[in-house]
Amino acid sequence: MVGEGDRGKAVIVGGSIAGLSCAHALTLAGWNVLVLEKTPSPPTGSPTGAGLGLNSLSQQIIQSWLPHSQQQLLLNTTLPLTIDQNCVTDSERKVHSTLTRDESLNFRAAHWADLHGLLYNALPSDIFLWGHLFLSFHVLHDKGSVIVKAKVLQTGEVVEIQGDLLVAADGCLSSIRQKYLPDFKLRYSGYCAWRGVLDFSKIENSETMTGIRKAYPDLGKCLYFDLASGSHTVLYELHRKRLNWVWLVNQPEPEVKGTSVTMKVNSEMIQKMQEEAEKVLIPEMVKVIKETREPFLNFIYDSDPLEKMVWERVVLVGDAAHPTTPHCVRSTNMSILDAAVLGKCMEKWGLQKLESALEEYELIRLPVTSKQVLHARRLGRLKQGLVLPDREPFDPKLVRPEDHQELLVRNTPFFNDGPLSLGLIPSDCL
């Protein structure tokens, strides 16, 4: 029952990694949770999504959520990313050379579906309402609760769910956020990202794999960035013999249709992309791109940092709270830390002091995520050679070696940590 004893009930909208992370953290804090997700079933085991990087703190947090017998699974389903290396591609000679190399990255590479499956399988299956499309909500001030309406997609039935807290884990296009910030708009970055995952398990000794391993000899432990004119690529290896690649290309803002910033593409678009890649990228990378099945297109958006993440009994987490560009490898890590801090605040204050718990969550997370979003924006514009207010556009073939240090992921604010309690926030963030 809602509000039974001191156990609050949280309704989480969104069954992606941010939502699952909140389910773990709030369950550990003694709360009942219910997760609403519009997709009809969990994507566990499917090829959904692409690669991501987990920093050391996120790794520790995830392992704390798993049963002791499953904690090794995180290491077993990920690969180390100990090196952050930036290269520059000479598009005319079709060769590349190293600009920077940092061997203290301490990340791990995961496939989205593998991490989602790990988190999902460690939760009770009965807390999920799959195939439930969130419609609306309203806060009952007199009863201290929130009512959520959702449509059961299989039957068309509209159901009402009552809880003590609504957690908006519904992504960068959050409809929950829109209720409080009706004029909010995402900011187009100036570039899009072609993405793909190449399964090389059956072509391990092929010319393509021999060539890419020669060009990028530290695959399996290195996060590679390769900068060219007006674009750059990202490359790293995933568990089970897969290569994750991203090609970011400057272009005008596309017309986004529907409710997603990810676009399925047709064969004509793919062929055109491959032809463009041949003009800019080294041949070894082009071969990987050409052999990848079902590449897809991401429109890259972020937003200026929000002034609030909490309203009444509603809290934003993950991309709903801080849409970001991918350059600091932060999106998933920010979602995991949001969840961990939210859980700690709920455990500390309890249901009876929910307002204090949410206030502390916001005080801890807002300064951190704001700095990281703005840093990722700057790094993205730097690597894409776009205009910045305080410097000339970055040209990796012309700048001084000391300027290359700006490219390193480790310069991200709160790179290796993130405060989990109010007492750990540096004074300059308050």
pLDDT tens for each residue of the chain, 430 residues long: 233 446 899 999 999 999 999 999 999 999 999 999 999 998 865 566 789 999 999 999 999 999 988 889 999 999 999 999 999 987 677 678 899 999 999 999 999 999 999 999 999 999 999 999 999 999 998 788 999 999 999 999 999 999 999 999 999 999 999 999 999 999 999 999 999 999 999 999 999 999 999 999 999 999 999 998 889 999 999 999 999 999 999 999 987 665 567 777 899 999 999 999 999 999 999 999 999 999 999 999 999 999 999 999 999 999 999 999 998 999 999 999 999 999 999 999 999 999 999 999 999 999 999 999 999 999 999 999 998 988 888 887 776 777 788 899 999 999 877 788 876 555 554 4
Report the distance separating Cα 272 and Cα 262, nearest Å.
18
Between strands 9-13 and 32-37, the pairing is: parallel
Among 396, 378, 366, 280, which residue's Cα sits nearest to residue 327? 378
* Residue in the structure block whose two tokens are 């993205």: 380
The type of residue at 402 is E
* 3-state class (DSSP) for residue 403: helix
Helix runs in 216-282, H state only: 267-280
Structure tokens of 284? 């070894």
Q: How far is CA 266 from CA 28, 269, 359, 389, in A?
A: 44, 5, 46, 37
Domains of the chain: 9-59+113-185+304-406 (3.50.50.60), 78-109+190-302 (3.30.9.60)
Side-chain half-sphere CA neighbours of 310 within 13 A: 18
Are 210 and 203 a contacting pair, CB within 8 Å?
Answer: no
Phi, psi dihedral angles at 345 (to 5 degrees): -65, -40
Query: DSSP characters for 290-337?
Result: HH-SS-EEEEEEE-PPPS-SEETTEEE-GGGT----GGGS-HHHHHHH
Give this prediction's pTM: 0.94
